[in-house]
Structure formats: C-alpha cells, structure tokens
Structure 1
C-alpha cells in the first residue's frame, strides 16, 4: 500500500488479528524489554499511564534496531479495586481473580506508541469499563475448563472475543480497546505517517 515498512512490536495474537482484519501490512518483531522494571518505576495507581509507558518502551526497543521502519508498541493494563492487576500465573490464580472481580467493575487501559528513528512520534491510551455479572461458581469452573491455559496470556484472564463475553453484563468503551489496541487512533496515525492510504 505504501513504501513505508511497519512493524508490530508485540506477540499478541489479538493485536495481530486486529491489524490483519483492518488490512494493514506489517511484520512482527517482539520487543525484548523488562516489563517488571518498567512497572517497578511507575506509580501503580496510574494504570493508564503505565499502559502508555510500556507501549513506548516496546516501540523504542525495536525502533532502535530498525530505525527506518515505523514501529508500533502496545500494552494493556487492568485497574481493579484501586490497584494494578497483572497476568495470572496459574489457572488457580485466574479463578481466584475472576471470583474477586465477579459482580464488580474494572477498567482496561490499552496504550499504544508509534516510533521511528529511535524516537516516539505518537502515543495514546483508551479506556474501557468492564462490568462483570454475578456468575455462578459452576459457570466459572466450566469457563476455566473450556478456555484453559490460554487465559493466562490475558491480563484479565478472559477473552471478550471468546467465551469470556459471558462473564460480563455490560462494557462501556471501544471493543478494540478491550482486545488490547486503541485501533482507531492507531489507524489515524498510520495514515498520517504514510503507512496507509488516506
């Protein structure tokens, strides 16, 4: 579509699927960054800011090695009960987390950053408010059995594009933001950068 090269600095299958679905040509180069170090130096109360900072760090890590390409970094954080939630390490931990969030509200913050020549040229974040329904223990067990360890790749231990949609009573915000990328602003920046046709 253009002479510009575009790299997604993420191993997320959902982000890859969103860009492919939108007809965006790209390659993938996973950013090698110490996310724990970034989190340790960030205010845990600022979950939205952390999503952007992680996206910026990832975009820069890849851009420094391939300065001529446009590089998209992205990350997602989950804020619940005044704290920051990380990915569950086990299905037992995922079950405990989902049980704690049952009947409650949490926020998903999807951050993105576009870099070129080792510099961030744009970054942004979008937030979705997730209202979990009061599902039964029986449903929770069936859900975990059906979805399996794939849930451990998601910060919320659910995939809205799968059976995880049944965990919710309502979602306020953009569907793509829930999946892990503020797609509309990203597409606008890719048009501005000349990666996509206007």
Structure 2
C-alpha cells in the first residue's frame, strides 16, 4: 500500500530544514491561517501561551487538511516570559530590548505539532523547554545583534539555538527539536506507524 503524502502547513524555513534533515518526504503548503485573530481571541478568553501554541498547530493542520489529501503537519511555537505570550520581534531594536529584558532570567518555549487527515486531528503533542539566559554584557548583545541581523526577526525568542544564539544561555532543559520549533521524535514515531518512514 502506498504511503500517504505528507504536507507541512508552515511557512517556517527552520521547520522545513528539520523535517528534511530527518529524511521525511513532504511538500510545504501555506495554511492561510490568520494567527493574530486566533491569538487575540484566545488571549481575551484567558488562554496561556502553551494552549495558544497547541491551538495554532491544530488550526494550521486542519486548514490545509480540508483542501489536500494526506497527512498534514501543523506546528507552532510560543514564548512564555513572566506568564505572558511574546510574538516575534518586529524590529532589531525590539529584539535587542527583549533579549536585554530576559537577560539573567528564565523563560519557556512551548512547541506544538498536530497532524490532520481528512479534516480531523489524528495525532498531536506539546513540548515545553525552559531556558535561562546568562548575564551577558551590553557589548556582547550589540555584537550578537550585528552578527545575526534580520535572522533574529524570524524567531519568537530573537535567537537561533543552532547558531550564535546558543551563547546567550547558561542553562537549557527540554527537547532540542522543540526549541527549533518542531518536536520531532514523537512525530517520527507517528509517521513510521503510518508507513511514511521505515519501521
């Protein structure tokens, strides 16, 4: 029996790199979901960052699953600092301000992934990592912002753990792939069970 098609309902280059690196055959697709509307509504209802990540992953997967056959992967990540949801910084100045505010303190990254088929969620998981930023200097921050530039604006935390951003931290606990935005090990196990990957 032919394995089902796998579709990644995400515009994230980082998630595509993670899936490709793991040897998962997939096609990318834009979910078309207006994330801001869902976030605003859920925040008004008192939802926390973890619940919002899970809901966004589900809605992205479902949006594409209603249009395309196969297994549709939706994913999202939220940053939880002092109990509040933080979005991707809009400017390098905002990124620098956020990093300085988190300096010497702990924050959490919630990464959710959901798989939909025929308009229904068939598998999902949520991974939470805790990260502590070291007490870095202003000189380090200035050099870091200059070196990374616009790449920082694609991450909710304004860092890439797979790059120089790892130097920001004194302590990291949690799933590495979850920090990259796509909890991978459970997803791979699910895809093996569906015949997409060899057992």
Q: In which range does the TM-score fall when normalised by the shorter chain? A: over 0.9
Secondary structure at the counterpart of residue 3 of structure 1 = coil
TM norm structure 1? 0.96
Q: Could you say what secondary structure the match of 1:41 adopts?
A: helix
The answer to whether the Cα contact below 8 Å between 1:108 and 1:128 also exists between their aligned partners in 2 is yes
Measured after TM superposition, the shift of residue 12 of structure 1 is 1.2
The answer for the alignment partner of 1:51 in structure 2 is: 53
What residue number does 2:9 align with?
Answer: 9
Distance in structure 2 (CA, Å) of the matches to 1:159 and 1:115:
28
CA contact (8 A) 2:48 2:84 kept: no
Give the structure-2-normalised TM-score.
0.95
User: 1:54-107 deviations in whole A, cap 9, x for unaligned?
Assistant: 0001001111110x2110000000000121111100000001000000000000
Is 2:138 the partner of 1:137?
Answer: yes
Gaps of at least 5 residues in structure 2 are none
1:62-77 equivalent positions in 2, closer than 5 A:
62-66=64-68, 68-77=69-78
Find the counterpart in structure 2 of residue 96 from structure 1.
Answer: 97
Q: Are 2:16 and 1:38 equivalent residues in the alignment?
A: no
Shift of 1:47: 1.1
The 4+ residue runs of structure 1 with deviation greater than 2 A are none
Number of aligned positions between the proteins? 197
Q: Aligned partners of 2:57 and 2:128: how far apart in 1?
A: 15
Q: Which residue of 2 aligns with 1:122?
A: 123
Q: Which runs of 5+ in 1 are unaligned?
A: none
What SS does the aligned partner of 2:42 have?
coil
